[in-house]
Amino acid sequence: MMRHEIHHAFERVLAVSAEDIEYFLQSIGTISWADFLLNPRRLRGSDFLMRWSQGVWSEHLLTQAVNATGQYFAIPYGPSGTAPDNDVREFELYFERLERAGLGSMKRPDLLVFRTGDDDRVSSIIDSLNGVGELPFTPEGDPRIQQLLSLAIIAVECENSLWRAQMMPDYHTPFTPQRRLNGRPGLKKSAVLPTVIVKEEDRRPLTQWQDTHHIPIHIWHAFFDEAYGIALDTVERLISGGDIEPTKQVFQAPGGATSEKVIYKIYYRHAYPLAQTVAYPELVADSITDRNGHILPYVKFIGGRSELTAEALAVLREVDTRHG
């Protein structure tokens, strides 16, 4: 039985699965779990700051990779994508503002992707809304948001994992018939390989959003060295067809609240190769200091560059053709 549930938007965004926390602890040694008072909630441990830094970095990396194609560009749309990205305290205050506005529980995809030829129209709409940071505070019924969405070819939900995908033990392990999957091809439960993560709690809101706006949603999952993408419709087919089974995981939020969530781990072979990291980021030591003078160190991701694959460009062109 879970002791707590994670309700606040800030805590949901930075929630870390128990297995990731265990991985961090085993990898970098002892971390003090003392409470660090930064705000009304408490930020526990370097792994949560690492999660924030990694999420900001990976989303920027994928956005830059799309923009570098010269054919398409991406803008942040959901709350986590438009939030401040250089100060964890400002990041939290942003989510507090969402909560006060009664918008903390809304679900919007993280990115919108557009044709390069529509950049002036997109910029004009965003300027009329006072910048991308105001997108989550503007109702989707607003005519300007409706105009913005009419130009988007796909919407993207971003996930990330702190792993080198190609070094994971079962990266090359072939599929074999699995009894638990009724003979469908797959891998043993304990297999360690890249997967695209989809949370059960996100499936219905994302599907409803897609159906409402008639914009296909893709899930993009970034690893340190490469990234994978998959259409939400494909995810639904895999789940309903029994090819992917649910997994229960315990998530812990910065304030210590824990919640058991159902997730789906989509084998990377079901997805399309999205991007390759061609320049790795620097992992730079950084820290924050709470108002009591306590220092909390963490590793910050700086720089790096990824390139979209030919397969990913083909996916965008195919969706673009249907959109046009």
Nearest Cα neighbor of 219 from 135, 123, 315 is: 315
Domain of residue 36 covers 9-323
Q: How many domains does the chain have?
A: 1
Strand, helix or coil for residue 22:
helix
Strand, helix or coil for residue 42:
strand
Cβ distance 191 to 129 under 8 Å?
Answer: no
Cβ distance 113 to 156 under 8 Å?
Answer: yes
In tens, the pLDDT along 67-96 reads 999 999 999 998 776 666 667 677 777 777
Would you say residue 2 lies in a domain?
no
Distances (CA, A) of 246 to 181, 201, 261, 266: 11, 12, 10, 10
In tens, the pLDDT along 127-144 reads 999 998 888 888 889 999
pLDDT of residue 295: 74
Give the predicted TM-score (pTM) of the model: 0.83
Q: Please report where in the chains the tokens 């996100």 appear, as a residue.
A: 202
Would you say residue 3 lies in a domain?
no
Would you say residue 178 lies in a domain?
yes
Would you say residue 237 lies in a domain?
yes
Would you say residue 113 lies in a domain?
yes
Nearest Cα neighbor of 53 from 190, 187, 152, 162 is: 162
Go through the chain and tell me how many residues it has: 324
Strand, helix or coil for residue 18:
helix
Q: Residue 320 corresponds to which tokens in the numbers above?
A: 């673009």
Would you say residue 130 lies in a domain?
yes
* Biggest CA pair distance of the chain: 58
